Structure 1
């Protein structure tokens, strides 16, 4: 008989929020699918392990289109599906997903990303200058999240989209509540504040278009004359602004934290940035990636992904990328941080049709930030911090603070 007991994640490990990997490993040892209760009190099914995660990402019985299958739910739609701004490709299944992704990919091209490289370096150097200048009285220190990890990707995505006047501090608060909500009330308030703000941004681009990505998305038309409608444009602005910076914030923060915790790896990287940097960023993504679990899927029919646990139709399912990338069946000695490891094949950016379109931009920003940071501050080290503020929820993996000194 399948085990339908609910596993309390904090019972598996009381330090789950800070370090979820032991709890996930304990679940993986029992099988690939588990009904769990999160620290926030939500019940859902987790998929753990590398092969099970990859299979789940490509299983058409796990849908991202919650609105289409609302009839399967006992209650109301979750906030992330019920609010405006979600007519984008991440909330759609084929063929709708294919259509939206095709239209966006026409403009969000590798060439457009590669052209941003000088700008990313310029912004990074400016932020590091400000970080150094901001040190007061002999106390050479800063919060790396506030000084670099947040403002770099936010500045770059605003440049890419053509919204330089975005109130970034205000948007950061909204975005944090969307990806790592501290309560349902605050999550809903963030959506209700953000959507009108984005509507005005799209309207401004209609009036005064430019060479930026958002203007291009407004005007792009495919071979069949298809284009994004107004709801889809609003939704793509939402997706690109939120996803376009949140992942990189935690890539930089988690990656630097891993280097600080492994001084021999940090020393090796400093000694050979040209030879080791690309591999180091991939290992950062594998070892403690910026996204812990997938955006929630909805089971549209009963399914068994292995192990005998049948997921009922209407259930919420999260695929745990963090555990997949620590699976010893795929990565030997997975809990060892090794920047010389061949970490290719990790699924830190997802897998299948919803693989992150912005992965090349995140990698570019991550490589640039780590290189320039280590070159500029050769004695950089982490400050002890008892309350780094781990992000709640199973989506994002990171902290709100990372104090450093040099």
Structure 2
């Protein structure tokens, strides 16, 4: 057992609220250029505080303008935290969700002007009468702890049976546009190449659900007008870096081929025509990993780490980490700290290996890094020491 796993096990057995991890080049698991890596980072001592340990399939987190934090659970609940402690309260009156496999209540995001308008947004799998479901973006306000003024803004159809590959993340850009991700629904990968459906795409809408007039396919006959990019398999990571005006995305590959992408207007990211992965039974899935007119990832993982939520470190609290991308890993149960230079992957470090299936990682308004996990049901906070 490595030291981080040991410390985590001891913390859980003893009821401790924290574990310690030393992060830096000596812990690097994958370094393509050690000298470059050394110039980009420095060794940090991090205390990883366990703030909560009773989640059941947590998915997304956001901070409200009053300082409270919301965390979703896929079964359809939103827990309320204040000053890093669970208040014992949950949001009441949320819609029923299609709770099947990966589907349910997914992401949550506060409007960038939440202090002014009070809007909170969720992505959820909405039930339909024929036992199908579709990724839906809804907004609401809070009256006490009750969700009021609920509005379904957009449904990414057609609705689908089962619960595979629903995405979904919500982010806002510097101009207030909302982006959300929707997976290809699994059993028909070519959905991602078909502009007449919403699956396997990144979408862009106004904050009231209307479609921006400059979306790339708004004038294309038969195309879904909200599409911003396509050819995206199952994007469970999405982050808009307001410092660089860049939309980052992480998506699950099949067996191998998880991707980290920069998402740009109207571009095709290739799935399933090109991929670095193979079928789960080991057979060839795509004839090639490159094709003209289809974008290459900034980085891909073989074998898969099962990429999920992502964030860019913009805080000054973590010396040497600023501009790095943190990628939640479900299958490999760690956080990948990806070091970039000119938007190219130059190095990678595994943080908190063995902590559990990391579903989301995020930076708080006051600059601290938080993560939530499945299996272990944790919410942890990274606190730099010294």
Question: How does the TM-score come out when normalised to structure 1?
Answer: 0.25
Bigger-Rg structure (1/2): 1
Q: Which structure is higher in helix share? A: 1
Question: How does the TM-score come out when normalised to structure 2?
Answer: 0.26
Q: Which structure is higher in strand share? A: 2
